[in-house]
Amino acid sequence: MSDILQVQQLRTRFKTDQGKVSVVDGVDFSIRQGETLGVVGESGCGKSMTSLSIMRLLPQNGSTEGKITFEGKDLLSLSEKDMQKIRGNEIAMIFQEPMTSLNPLHTVGRQIEEAVLLHRKVTKEEAKKRAIDMLKAVGMPRPEEIYGEYPHQLSGGMRQRVMIAMAMACDPKLIIADEPTTALDVTIQAQILELMQKLKEQTGTSIMLITHDLGVVAEMCDRVIVMYAGQVVEEAEINQLFESPKHPYTIGLMNSVPELDEEREYLETIPGSVPLAHQMPSGCRFAPRCSKAMPICSEKQPDLLDLGGQKCRCWLYAEVNE
């Protein structure tokens, strides 16, 4: 299968009071046609900034270096006008907060139509039909009525369905979903995840799923990258990752989450907290919190090593490669 998106040496910086700060620092990954790639990490690991860099939706004080290739086009060198043709059309986004990402003054139908009218040569009637079809596709009851309703009339789960309908309206080749179910209750989350899975099977679109929840990853993804402090620390196929996680951070993360199907007296913990963007350790960024840290870890940054399909940024595996 060919790659639909390739990200190479992505570096995103912000101008702040403390000077220029890197929030994404040399990130490499690719997404294949029709696959769901999970991007896992805790707050501040750069996972959301990576997605905003791809969409070129960074705030004013942010800047991006590196190469982002989407279907042969280098997104970072496109003109703003060409980029607009891609946004919402070929790459669509679903955000965490369905309340703030829908315009409260416009009807649900109008917001779905908007993208269609913008990117497709269709009449108003065709756009309306498309919007209603999409509402049907995302499992909304009474789609014709919902079409004319406003976001505040809908529940959180319904709004997230509308967001998905908007994202899917132009048949995008890639959907970037940033914590799409984090704001939802578990029973509603289950509905939304099932819906996303179903739509993906029907349309064959690729999904980049950003989440902090390993359970959601296990259920949805084909491949996963784990991010820590602005870098990719591990990349693996889903089964590989859960069967033999390599990076001490990944292992720590997995062991610190309580699971329904197991009984443990104590959870493992990762001591300390994530380093701040302007105070990054000089060696491995995880070294100060790592129980397996060696002298070299605080001196030199490890590379993302290829361990035969699975990749890991850790000195523990350096000899294996040499």
Partner 1 sequence: MEPLLEVKGLQKHFPIHSGAFRKVVGHVRAVDGIDLTVYPGETLGIVGESGCGKSTTGRTILRLLEPTGGEVLFNGQDLAKLKKEEMRQVRKDIQMVFQDPYASLNPRKTIKQILLESLEVHNIGTKQERMQIIEEIIQVVGLQKEHLNRHPHNFSGGQRQRIGIARALVLKPKLIIADEPVSALDVSIQSQILNLLKDLKRDFNLTLIFISHDLSVVKHICDRVAVMYLGRVVEIADKRTLFENPSHPYTKALLSAVPQANPKAKRERIILTGDLPSPANPPSGCTFHPRCQHATEECKKVAPQLQDIGGGQLVSCHLYKELFSSQH
Where on the chain is the footprint of partner 1 (CB under 8 A)?
42-43, 155, 157-158, 185-191, 193-194, 212-219, 238-239, 242, 252-254, 256-261, 264-271, 273-274
Q: DSSP string spanning 207-225?
A: EEEEES-HHHHHHH-SEEE
To partner 1, the closest distance from the beta carbon of 252 in angstroms equals: 7
- In the chain, the amino acid numbered 299 is E
To partner 1, the closest distance from the beta carbon of 67 in angstroms equals: 31
Residue 88 or 151: the one with the smaller Cβ distance to partner 1 is: 151
Q: At what angle do helices 156-168 and 124-137 cross, to 10 degrees?
A: 130
Quick one: how far is CA 203 from the chain centroid?
19
Residue 64 or 240: the one with the smaller Cβ distance to partner 1 is: 240
Residue 61 or 269: the one with the smaller Cβ distance to partner 1 is: 269
Residue 191 or 203: the one with the smaller Cβ distance to partner 1 is: 191
To partner 1, the closest distance from the beta carbon of 126 in angstroms equals: 31
To partner 1, the closest distance from the beta carbon of 185 in angstroms equals: 4
Residue 178 three-state SS = strand
Quick one: how far is CA 271 from the chain centroid?
26
- How distant, in Å, are the alpha carbons of 138, 153, 166, 216 from that of 110? 16, 15, 10, 31
To partner 1, the closest distance from the beta carbon of 256 in angstroms equals: 4
Residue 175 or 238: the one with the smaller Cβ distance to partner 1 is: 238
Instruction: Read off the tokens for 266.
Output: 């104590």
User: Can you list the positions of beta strands (E) in the chain?
Assistant: 3-16, 19-32, 36-40, 62-70, 73-74, 91-94, 174-178, 206-211, 223-228, 231-237, 305-306, 311-312
To partner 1, the closest distance from the beta carbon of 179 in angstroms equals: 13
